[in-house]
């Protein structure tokens, strides 16, 4: 409880980690607020069903609060705001404000326990934070949003925050790299998926670095473990480097 987990991907797609955490926390009985900025609800639901979780049922029983970012953008830019009945969480797109306060308020209200709630703990899941920058949010606004989410979810509600960001160390996108590096300094755990430097391989899809940030709370060096992985239809196989089917 009270942890910030950063999912970072470079030269590969790290969304398999998002699907893992989503199904993991729902099966564990946690209340989940999923800020989905990258894909539609039907996409996440199809993948979740392969993992044995029904997102539609989770929404109906109030365990999952789902923000479909793509639909919210269209409603805000092309729809009638009066018919929406309440401010959009992505209000900054309209130009009326430059901060992400409306998005934070959506998260806070969604995860604040109500009378009679029996969920084990609140979880904020964001896929993916880099999209906010692409939509025009300033890096400072994105980092402020994450700071308030950490204080609210991790510190006050004793829950967890899991966020995915794309990164490319050779990229000229300085704003995105600023956000990624800042989040790395504040994360308790970093799962960094990287594509193979040698290119495509059918038996190995990439590397994953598991970085436990012991230096945040103790005067110890961070623990780093490196594995290779292969994504299959219903699960992901992890193995030590050099022990893939391509080698053995």
Query: In this predicted model, what pLDDT tens digit does every residue of 189-202 receive, in sequence order?
Result: 999 999 988 888 88
Classify burial at 202, counting beta carbons within 10 Å of its beta carbon; exposed 0-12, middle 13-18, buried 19 or more: exposed
pLDDT at residue number 234: 85
End-to-end alpha carbon distance in the chain: 39
pLDDT at residue number 93: 87
* Domain spans, the chain: 3-199
Q: Rounded CA gap, 248 and 244, in Å?
A: 6
Reading phi first (left if > 0) and then psi (alpha if -120 to 50, else beta), residue 196 is in beta
pLDDT tens digits for range 125-159: 999 899 999 999 999 999 999 999 999 999 999 99
Residue 156: CB atoms within 10 A of its CB come to 14
Q: Which residues of the chain have pLDDT under 50?
A: 82-84
Percent of the chain topping pLDDT 70: 95
- Give the right CATH number for 3-199 from 3.40.190.80, 3.30.470.20, 3.40.50.300, 2.60.40.10: 3.40.50.300
Mean model confidence pLDDT for the chain: 90
- Positive or negative torsion for Cα 198, 199, 203, 204: positive
pLDDT at residue number 248: 52
pLDDT at residue number 247: 60
């Amino acid at each position: 409880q009270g942890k910030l987990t950063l999912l970072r991907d470079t030269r590969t797609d790290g969304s398999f980690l998002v699907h893992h955490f989503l199904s993991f926390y729902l099966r564990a009985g946690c209340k989940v607020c999923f800020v989905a900025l990258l894909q539609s609800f039907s996409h996440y639901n199809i993948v979740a069903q392969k993992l044995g979780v029904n997102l539609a049922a989770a929404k109906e029983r109030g365990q999952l609060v789902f923000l479909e970012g793509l639909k919210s953008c269209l409603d805000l830019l092309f729809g009638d705001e009066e018919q929406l009945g309440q401010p959009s969480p992505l209000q900054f797109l309209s130009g009326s404000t430059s901060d992400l306060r409306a998005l934070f308020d959506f998260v806070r209200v969604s995860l604040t326990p109500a009378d009679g709630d029996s969920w084990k703990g609140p979880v904020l899941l964001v896929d993916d934070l880099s999209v906010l920058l692409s939509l025009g949010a300033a890096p400072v606004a994105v980092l402020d949003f994450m700071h308030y989410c950490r204080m609210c979810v991790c510190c006050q509600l004793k829950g967890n925050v899991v966020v995915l960001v794309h990164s490319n160390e050779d990229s000229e996108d300085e704003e995105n790299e600023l956000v990624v590096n800042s989040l790395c300094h504040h994360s308790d755990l970093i799962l960094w998926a990287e594509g193979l430097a040698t290119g495509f391989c059918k038996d190995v899809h990439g590397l994953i670095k598991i970085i436990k940030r012991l230096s945040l709370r103790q005067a110890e060096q961070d623990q780093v473990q490196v594995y290779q992985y292969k994504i299959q239809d219903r699960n992901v196989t992890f193995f030590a480097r050099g022990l893939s089917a391509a080698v053995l």
